Structure 1
Amino acid sequence: MPRRLLGVAVALVLAVPLSACGSGGSSSDDALEIWIRQVPNSPSHKTAQKFVAAFEKATGVKTKLVALFDDFETKLQQQAAAKDLPDIVINDTARLGNMEHQGWLREIDKAKLKGADQLSEIAWKAAQAGDGKYYGAPFSAQSFALIIRKDWREKVGLQPPQTWDDLAKLAKAFTDKDPDGNGANDTAGFVAPAGTKRGYASWYASSLIFANGGDFLKATSPGHFAPAVNDPKTVEAVKWLQDQFCTAKTVNPGAVSNDTTVTHTVFEKGQGGIYLVGPYVLARFVKSIGTDKIEVVPVPKGPSGGPGTLGEGENVYEMAGSKHEAEQQKFAEYAISAEGQKVGMNGDNEGPIVRLPVNKTVDLSAERQDPRWKVFQDSYQYAVYAPPVPDWTPFRQKSADAINAAWADCSTDVKASMDTLANTFTQELTTQKAS
C-alpha cells in the first residue's frame, strides 16, 4: 500500500471512537475492545476479523477490533496517558517487559486459564517477566529460516547450504553467476532488512548470532543480566555478516537502509536469492514468485556453536483496569484453544495471525499442506526469545545502531564496536535496575 494511502487508512481507523477501554472508557455498545498490530485491510487484518467473529460466535461476547501498524506503541502510550487502554492487546512477545513495567498488564494465573496445560513451554517462557510471573497468554510463535530461490540454486549447481561456508558460497554464486539468466549483473546473494528502523539490523542478525551460540545478554540471576554482545561467538557472527556486506559484497544494494517492507519486495523482484526471515511471508512468496521456485532451509549451525534461531511471536495481553475481566479471560482461553489457533493459522493462505501454533494438540501438517512450514516448526525447538528485561526496546535499538554501522562502514572494527556496545548495555541494565 502506498505510504500516503496507508496513512489515510490508519487515520480512518483512529477516527473511530474507542470503546470498552481498560481504565474506565465508556461505550454505547460496551464491547470488548481488541487492538492488534497489523496493517489495516491487509490479509492479516482480514484473518483477525475472521478470528474475532469466530470468538463472538463461540462465546457470545461482543467485540470491537482495531488494527494499527504504524506508531502502534505510540498510540498505546497515548491511550495509557488518557487512562483509556483497550481491553485486549495482541502484540509482540518482546513488548511484554515494557508494558508490564508500566503497569499496563494483568497477571495471568496459569492454573485458572483453561487450556494452559496444552501450550508449549517455550511459548510460555515468552509470556514470563523477569519476576517469574506471567503477563500474557501465548498466541503465536515463529522461528526463522532461509527462504532460497531454488531455481537459482539449481542453475548454479550447488546443494542446499549445510554450513556457513556453504551459505557464503551460494550467496557468491547468486551474485556473480547470473542465476536469473538475463545477462545482466543485477542479482545479489542475500536480501537483508539491515536498517536501524525499529531495530531491524539487530533483528536480522539475531538468528545467526544464536546459530553460532552467541547472545545479547546473559542471565546472572532471576531478573538480572550482564552483556554478552561482545562474547567471541557474537562478534564472530556480526563479523561474518560484515564480510558479506564489505568483502564478498553479496548483500543487495541499499540493504543498510531497508526495513522488511522494502526487503520483501526486493526478494520478489528477483534482486537477491537468500532471505533469512520468518514464515509469515511464505504464502506471499509462493503466490508472487511461484511455489516451484522457492525452498526453505534451516539456518545452518555456526562454526562456534548452535543450532539456534530467533524466536518471536505474539501474546494476548489482558490490559489492567478493564471492566471486562471475565470477557478478557474468555478471549485468552479462546485464543489458546485448538479451535482459536486453527482459525488464526488461516491454512496455507496469506495473512496468518498464528504463524506456528503454540497449542501442542494442533497438528501443523493437518492445517497446512505446504511441507515447508515444517522447517520453521522444527527450528522452533532451538528458538531464543528476547530476554525478560523491563524494556527490551532500547537494547534492540542500540544493538541495531552498532551492527548497522559495522555493515555500512567497512572500516569498523567489529570487536571494538561490540565492546563499546557492551558498555552501553551495562548502563542500560543499570538504568532498568536489571544489572
Structure 2
Amino acid sequence: MHTNLRAVAVIGVATLALAGCSATSAPEGGSGVKQDDEAVLEIWTRTTPGSPSEAATIRQVEAFTEATGFKAEVTAIFDDFEIKLAQRAGQKDLPDIVLNDVSQLGTMQSQGILREIDLDEIKNSKDLTAQALEAGKAVDGKTYGIPYSAQANALMIRSDWLEKLGLEAPTDWDEMLEVAEAFTANDPDGNGQADTYGLAVPGSTKRGYASWYFSNFLWAAGGDFITGSGDEWLPAMTSPEAIEAATWFRDLQCEAGVVQPGAPSMDTPPTNEAFESGVAGMYVTGPYMMPRFDKVLGADKYEVVPAPQGPEDASVLAEGGTVYLMAGSENEKGQTAFADWYVSPDAQKFGMEGSDAFAIQLPVNEKVDIADVRDDPRWQTFATAYKESGHYAPTIPSWTPVRQMSADTINALLADCSLDVEEELTKLDGKLTAELLTQGILKQ
C-alpha cells in the first residue's frame, strides 16, 4: 500500500505545474495557472453516489453558490477514490476542491496535489476550534486543509436491555466489562436463546478497521501508535499503556467472550447490523449512525452515553471532513471563498439541518452551538466528547500504512488467542520503525 502511495506522489508532484484550460487573460494564480473567477468549481466528495450524504453535500454546495455567486458542481465517489484522484493528477486536471477525511491530509500533501492555505484569507478560520486548526496542518506546520465537520465517538447502548437486567450504562472499563458479560449471559432480549453479546467490534483488516476501532481504547489507556511531533516520531506500541489496552481489548474476545461472532472478519457494515439487529448491545461509534439506528432499531431502544473512562482518561477517536484546495485550479478565488464559507456560522448551521444525513456532523466553528440547531440531547453528548475527549490521528506524510499495520496486528490478536500480546506488539513496533524511516520522519 505504501509503495502505491509513493508512486502516486511522483505523479502528484507534477500537478504543481498544472496548466490551466481557461482562455481568459486574467492574472496567474499561485501555481502559475491563469485565473478565471467564472470557472465552475469541480468538487469531489468521498461518499456513495445516490446516497443521502451526497444529497446533503449537493444541498450545501447549492447554498454556497447562492451565498457567494461562485458556480460549483459536485461529484460523489466512494470506490477507488484515491486511484481516480491519482488518474486526474496524471492528466494534470485535478478537481478544484476535494472533501475528504481529515486523516488523508498527510498523504495528499506529500503527493504534492494540495496548495497551501493562507489562513489570513479564510476570515472565519479565527473562530475554528484549536483542534480543527491543528488537524489542518501538515508535518511542516503549514495549513493544507480546513476541517469543516467534526465527529467523535461515544457509546451507543441498548437501553431496553439495561432496563430488563436492572443495569446502568457503564462509566469505566470495569463497568463496561460487567455490562458486556451480562448482555452476553443473561438473555437481555428475553427470547430464551444464548444469542446476544456485549460489544460490537469491527475487527477486520479492511481499510484498517481493527486499528480504527481499537484507537478509542488505546488512547483512553494513555497509549498511542506513534509519538512525536513535526518530522520526528517513534513507535509506541510497546509502551505499558499500549500493552495494557491491547491486552484488555483482546481479552474481551478471548477471555470474556463478549464480542459478536466473526468480529475479526467484519468491517463496519456487518458490525452496524450486529448492533441494530440485536446481536450486540454496545457499540462505540459516531453520530452519523443515529439516523440509521433510529429507523432500523428505534430511538427508544438505545441511548448515547460518553465512552467509558479508561485507565488514563476518556479519549475517543475524533475525525471529520476537510476542505482541500487542489493545486492547479483556474479559480483560486472561488476555492478560497468555498473554504471560508464552509466554516462560516451560516454554513455550519445550514449543514446540520435535516434528518437522514448531514453535511456537517458537529460544528468546528466555536460561534455555533449545536443546541441551537438540534434539540436532540444525544448530539450534545457527541459534541462534548469532541470538545473534551476528541483525539485526532497524528498528521504524518501517510497515516494509512500505520493504521493498516496496526490493524493487521490487532486483528491477529483477536483471531488467534494463542498469540502473545507483548510479542506481537514488539513486532509491530519494528514495522512501524521501518515505516517511519521510509517516510523520513523517524526520530534519530
TM-score (normalised: structure 1): 0.92
CA distance in 2, matches of 1:235, 1:353: 38
AA at the equivalent of 1:38: T
Find the counterpart in structure 1 of residue 307 from structure 2: 299
AA at the equivalent of 2:92: K
What's the CA shift for 1:294? Answer: 0.9
Find the counterpart in structure 1 of residue 41 from structure 2: 32
Find the counterpart in structure 2 of residue 239 from structure 1: 247
CA distance in 2, matches of 1:66, 1:343: 20
CA contact (8 A) 1:187 1:271 kept: yes
Q: 2:417 aligns with which of 390, 410, 416?
A: 410
Q: 2:272 aligns with which of 264, 276, 292?
A: 264
1:70 matched to 2:79? The reply is yes
1:352 matched to 2:358? The reply is yes
1:340 matched to 2:353? The reply is no
CA contact (8 A) 1:22 1:322 kept: no
What's the CA shift for 1:307? Answer: 2.5
2:321 partner SS: strand
AA at the equivalent of 1:365: A
Q: 2:114 aligns with which of 105, 108, 112?
A: 105
CA distance in 1, matches of 2:414, 2:22: 50
Q: 1:215 aligns with which of 206, 224, 239?
A: 224
2:351 partner SS: helix
CA distance in 2, matches of 1:374, 1:27: 46
Matches within 5 A, 1:281-300: 281-300=289-308
CA contact (8 A) 2:121 2:336 kept: no
CA distance in 2, matches of 1:266, 1:25: 50
Note the alpha carbon deviations across 1:46-98, whole angstroms, 9 max, x for none. Answer: 10111011111111111110001122112111211221211000101110000
1:290 partner SS: helix
CA contact (8 A) 2:21 2:330 kept: no
AA at the equivalent of 2:438: T
1:121 matched to 2:121? The reply is no
AA at the equivalent of 1:154: E
Find the counterpart in structure 2 of residue 399 from structure 1: 406
CA distance in 2, matches of 1:177, 1:420: 39
Q: 2:232 aligns with which of 196, 200, 224?
A: 224
Q: 2:385 aligns with which of 363, 366, 379?
A: 379
Note the alpha carbon deviations across 1:375-424, whole angstroms, 9 max, x for none. Answer: 11111122111112111000000000011000010011111111111111
CA distance in 1, matches of 2:280, 2:178: 14
Note the alpha carbon deviations across 1:248-293, whole angstroms, 9 max, x for none. Answer: 1111111111111221122111111101111111122122211121
1:159 matched to 2:168? The reply is yes
Q: Which runs of 5+ in 2 are unaligned?
A: 1-15, 24-37
Q: Percent of aligned positions with the same letter in both sequences?
A: 49
Q: 2:431 aligns with which of 417, 424, 427?
A: 424
What's the CA shift for 1:299? Answer: 1.4
1:362 matched to 2:368? The reply is yes
CA distance in 2, matches of 1:267, 1:247: 21
1:289 partner SS: helix
Q: 2:196 aligns with which of 187, 191, 196?
A: 187
CA distance in 1, matches of 2:196, 2:83: 38
CA distance in 2, matches of 1:56, 1:185: 55
TM-score (normalised: structure 2): 0.90
User: How many residue pairs get matched?
Assistant: 412
CA distance in 1, matches of 2:352, 2:400: 27
CA distance in 2, matches of 1:44, 1:24: 33
